[in-house]
Amino acid sequence: AEHALEHAARMVEEGAAIIDVGGESTRPGAAEVTVEEELQRVIPVIEALVAALDVPVSIDTRKPVVMQAAVAAGAGLINDVTALQAPGAIELAAQLGVPVCLMHMQGTPQSMQDQPTYGDVVTEVKGFLLGRAGACMQHGIDREKILLDPGFGFGKTTAHNLQLLQQLEQLVEAGFPVLVGLSRKSMIGQILGLPVDKRLPAGLALAVLAAWQGAAIVRCHDVRETREAILMCQAVRDAS
């Protein structure tokens, strides 16, 4: 928890507006973590962050038990890669009253990169997310508390990811804030042949492309550099 707090404090100093905490990897092929292990990983960290920092903390989890404990510990946003599809998740989120980020994923982290297939990836991802947003509103979650994430790299080939980013405005135009996570993603490695630690310039380009089309939140590893790139993008957008 101490190490996480130091890292988060540095990110806030560099301009992070939200700190996202997750106790289970959702990378392709990642193994599942038990509820108990996930709770042991995230709750002390959330408590430390909430006590020390002035920015919202989000909990990245797909487990309702973890959502409930995290919000009780002070988390102010539920970030779910399965878009609240776990039994009881959507009802719990409505009861907790915090904003939710709904992400699209084809398959599970264990299987999602095993030949993902779409007829039209942009239409299908948008349709799924708007369907989940509708379900949330039917269960009493305010429209103003719903964010959408197209899930770059989650059950998508590089071609799918490129199409989604190229046409991100289609999702933005639906009227919900859109969150994107493109930092260090494998699509950069596949296109440029770069290892994870050499992907910053390409990641900044992707972040700017997303921001230019109206993404509201950019989830990243390299905060200062990404913030500066986004601010320059915003300055050009606002020039008129």
Q: Would you say residue 160 has pLDDT above 70? A: yes
**Which stretch of 29-33, 85-89, 105-109, 217-221 has the lowest confidence by average pLDDT?**
105-109
For 172-199, what is the mean pLDDT? 97
| 80-121 tens-digit pLDDT | 999 999 999 999 999 999 999 999 998 666 565 667 889 999
**Which stretch of 40-54, 100-114, 170-184 has the lowest confidence by average pLDDT?**
100-114
Let me know if 62 is a catalytic residue: no
Q: Percentage of residues in the chain with pLDDT exceeding 70? A: 97
The catalytic position among 62, 185, 199, 224 is 185
**pLDDT value at residue 108:** 65
**pLDDT value at residue 110:** 58
Tokens standing for 156?
């998508």
- List of E strands, the chain: 19-22, 57-60, 77-80, 100-103, 146-149, 179-181, 217-219
Instruction: State the Cα–Cα distance between residues 189 and 101, nearest whole angstrom.
Output: 27
**Average pLDDT over the chain, rounded to an integer:** 95
Residue for token pair 């009253």: 97
The catalytic position among 27, 219, 227, 237 is 219
Q: Would you say residue 29 has pLDDT above 60? A: yes
Exposure string of 210-220, with b = 16+ CB inside 10 Å and e = fewer, is: bbebebebbbb
For 40-49, what is the mean pLDDT? 97
Three-class DSSP category at 176: coil
For 126-130, what is the mean pLDDT? 98
Let me know if 219 is a catalytic residue: yes
